[in-house]
A and B are shown apart, each in its own frame.
Chain A
Amino acid sequence: MKVGAPTRYLAGLLALTMSSTAGAQTTVTLPDTSQTTTMSANVSEQARVTVPATVTFSVTNIGVSTAATAASVTADQIVTSSAAKQLRISLQANAASFTPPVAGSVTWSAADVSWNAATWTNATGTAATLSNSSYNTVATCQADATSCSTTGLVFTLGAKPTVQRSGAHTLVVTWKFEGI
């Protein structure tokens, strides 16, 4: 089934209305366009984003999962070309596993990190697991929203009873903001 664009029908309807009232003449004042300056501003699609720099897991028991303190993410000053266009926020790990404090020792893999479907203002949060091969959605801002944010994004590190070395286990993870 194909549906014709309603704007076409609207244009036709306006033309009909105007021709039917052409007999009733009214004097109208037209603006003098010769002495005006048209100013235009070209506004790009854009957004301002604020993301946390780090998240720390206080692992006191490697046999159970550890939740980090809730993180805040904000996208504001969102300008889009269409009311239907949405800003998408996602995450991907830069490596398959954490870097352990001692080379070669057991550590967590990127897939051991997950996040909750947090409550967002003007966005839908999506729970997912971290991957190093794809950007997985954290949230999609609502269409036509000028800002979206959360203060309740909780990252959880899974249990890893085979870890033997204390110290700094670190992983670099990329926040992705897409205008596609």
Chain B
Amino acid sequence: MGLLIASLLQLAALTAQAPPPPETPRPLSFQATLDAIRITVRPGQVATRQFRLTLDRDQQATQFKARVEDWWRSVDGKQSFYAEAGTLRRSCGQWVSINPVESSVKPGETLTIRITVTMPVEVQAGGFWCALTVDEVPDPLEAAGEGVGVRFVASVSTGIFVYVEPVQREAAILAIRLDGDEARIQVRNDGNAPLAIEGRIEFFAPEMTTPLATTELGRRTVLTEPSREGMLTAKLPSARVLPSGRYRVRAVLDFGADHYVGAERELELVREEVQERAAVP
């Protein structure tokens, strides 16, 4: 019994002296406005907007730095590229100023950034774009972890779109493809401004006038440079709703003009129906 008590006391002493376990950095958590800023302006006009970011209450004070830069996406939409303002011909970066540029945000506090767009007196018609990027600044005093690791910081970007009349909105559908469980619509921007394109795909069985199935396409912004092309994708309805077969596939796209653009193509759809059946009890 005495030995047990001695062991327990020894263990208690060891526990009291043990260094605290290394602290795992807390996940970063915040709320931010994600509105793309879209303004139609006349040459010489000034417009202002706001961006807000609120740090969660359980966070440590965090430094944020804002900047205006150019951005574009790969044709398939899977990659985004950011570069110094002025990299693109249609950059609006040179007309946009922000305040503040850098700020420390306390837990529960909101960072408000004022965005001012000052248009020059002489400017080409059409659309211009850039992005407001707000980056978390890594804490230089935070100790590097042991071993091999990745340290994350967070960044929010919202698009700034400036339109100078006359704005021409024109779009063309280049291709309709079915690939696995995905439908892909390749589009081209034939106008002079970025287009926010969304829409739907309808699947018609032969001889049918009403669609057997419809699927919505997520919105995609298609720019005028460095590429005028973009891809809209949608997950196909399940194989039970849309089994393998030959269909007339119709794409109907809303690109912000007073009319839609559409295209239709007959396509063979091959589904993995065996797996689909196996999933059904």
| A contact residues vs B (CB 8 Å cutoff) | 1-5, 44-59, 66, 72, 77, 80-88, 90, 94, 98, 108, 113, 124, 126, 128, 131, 133-137, 140, 143, 155, 157, 167-180
* Nearest chain B CB to A174 CB, angstrom units: 5
28 contacts between A and B (CB under 8 A): A1-B261, A2-B260, A2-B261, A3-B261, A5-B254, A45-B36, A47-B32, A49-B31, A53-B25, A53-B28, A82-B198, A85-B219, A87-B34, A88-B80, A131-B79, A168-B145, A170-B144, A171-B151, A173-B151, A175-B153, A177-B32, A177-B155, A177-B157, A178-B159, A179-B33, A179-B157, A180-B36, A180-B80
Find residues 128-151 in chain B having any chain A CB closer than 8 Å to their own CB.
Answer: 131, 135, 138, 144-151
In the complex, are the beta carbons of B260 and A46 less than 8 A apart?
no
Q: Which of B27, B36, B148, B235 contacts A50 (CB 8 A)?
A: B27
A4 to chain B, nearest CB (A): 6
Cβ-defined partner of A4 (8 Å) among B218, B219, B260: B260
Task: Report which of A5, A50, A85, A173 forms a contact with B150, defined as CB distance below 8 A.
Answer: A173
B145 contact set on A, CB distance < 8 A: 54, 56, 168, 170
CA distance A174 to B146 in the complex (A): 20
Of B27, B146, B264, the contact of A72 (CB 8 Å cutoff): B27
- Minimum CB distance partner of A77 in chain B: B31
Inter-chain contacts of A82 with B (CB < 8 A) = 198, 219
B binding-site residues for A, Cβ under 8 Å: 24-36, 52, 56, 71, 74, 77-82, 131, 135, 138, 144-159, 198, 216-219, 221, 235, 252, 254, 258-264
Bound CA–CA A101/B243 (angstroms): 56
Looking across the interface, which residue of chain A has its beta carbon closest to that of B26? A53
- Could you tell me if A135 and B144 are in contact, using CB atoms closer than 8 angstroms? no
> With contacts A47-B34, A137-B78, A172-B151 known, what are 15 further pairs, Cβ within 8 A?
A5-B254, A44-B35, A48-B30, A72-B27, A77-B31, A82-B198, A87-B34, A90-B79, A108-B148, A135-B81, A137-B79, A168-B149, A177-B154, A177-B157, A180-B36
The 8 tightest CB contacts between A and B, nearest first, are: A179-B34, A53-B25, A84-B198, A180-B159, A50-B29, A48-B31, A84-B219, A56-B149
Q: Which A residues touch B157, using CB under 8 A?
A: 176-180
A136, B152: Cβ atoms under 8 Å? no
Which partner residue on chain B sits nearest A80 by CB separation?
B34
Residues on A with C-beta less than 8 A from B28 are 50-51, 53
Report if A175-B152 is in contact (Cβ < 8 Å); known contacts: A3-B260, A5-B259. Answer: yes
Identify B79's interface contact among A81, A134, A172, A179, CB under 8 A.
Answer: A134
Most chain A beta-carbon contacts within 10 A, residue among B31, B80, B138, B260: B80
Contact (Cβ within 8 A) B30 A49: yes
Pairwise interchain contact A172-B80, C-beta atoms closer than 8 A: no
A-side contacts of B259, CB under 8 Å: 2-5
Q: Chain B interface secondary structure, helix, strand, loop or mixed?
A: strand
Contact of B221 among A3, A81, A180 (CB under 8 A): A180
Chain A contacts for B24, CB-based, 8 A: 53-54
Question: When the two chains form their complex, are residues B260 and A174 in contact, meaning their CB atoms are under 8 A apart?
Answer: no
Whether A174 contacts B153 by the Cβ 8 Å rule is yes
Are A49 and B158 closer than 8 Å at their CB atoms?
no
For B144, list chain A residues within 8 Å (CB): 168, 170
Contacts A133-B81, A178-B80, A179-B156; is A54 near B150 (CB within 8 Å)? yes
Docked-complex contact B152 and A45, CB < 8 angstroms: no
Chain B residues lying within 8 Å of A177, measured Cβ to Cβ, are 32, 34, 154-157
Q: Which residue of A lies closest to B53 (CB)?
A: A46
A173 partner, pick from B79, B152, B216, beta carbons under 8 A: B152
What CA separation (Å) do A133 and B25 show in the bound complex?
26
Q: What are the residues of chain A within 8 A of B217 when measuring CB–CB?
A: 84
Complex: A2 Cα to B74 Cα, angstroms? 27
Write out the residue numbers on chain B whose beta carbons fall within 8 Å of the beta carbon of A134.
74, 79-81
